[in-house]
Amino acid sequence: MSHIGIPSPKILALSLFCTGKPYIEISKFVCSQKSLNDYLQLCGFKLLFIEDGKGWQFFGHRKIYVKQGDLFLIPPGEIYRMDGLENTKSWIVVFEADPLNLNSIDEDLLLLSFLQPKSNYILHIHVVPKKSSRLIIRLHELKDELCSKRQGFERSVDALLSLLLIDALRISDSRLKKISFQSKQLLKKVFQFIEANYSNHVGLLDVAKEVNLSPGYLTELVRLNTGKAVFSWIIERRMAEARHLLFITNRPVYQIAEGLGYLYVSHFIRQFRQYHGITPQAWRHRHVN
Residue by residue, what is the 3-state secondary structure of the chain? CCCCCCCCCCCEEEEECCCCCCCEEEEEEECCCCCCCCCCCCCCEEEEEEEEEEEEEEECCEEEEEECCEEEEECCCCCEECCCCCCEEEEEEEECHHHHCHHHCCCHHHHHCCCCCCCCCCEEEECCHHHHHHHHHHHHHHHHHHHHCCCCHHHHHHHHHHHHHHHHHHHCHHHHHCCCHHHHHHHHHHHHHHHHHCCCCCCHHHHHHHHCCCHHHHHHHHHHHHCCCHHHHHHHHHHHHHHHHHHHCCCCHHHHHHHCCCCCHHHHHHHHHHHHCCCHHHHHHHHHC
On whether the pTM is more than 0.85, the answer is: no
Are 12-175 and 181-288 the same fold in CATH?
Answer: no
CATH topology of domain 181-288: Arc Repressor Mutant, subunit A (1.10.10)
For residue range 180-203, what is the model confidence (pLDDT) as tens digits? 778 878 888 898 898 889 999 899
Task: Tell me which CATH homologous superfamily contains domain 12-175.
Answer: Regulatory protein AraC (2.60.120.280)
Domain ranges of the chain: 12-175, 181-288
Q: With bands split at pLDDT 50, 70 and 90, how would you rate the model's confidence at 111?
A: low
Mean pLDDT of 266-283: 93
Mean pLDDT of 128-155: 85
Looking at residue 256, its pLDDT comes to 97
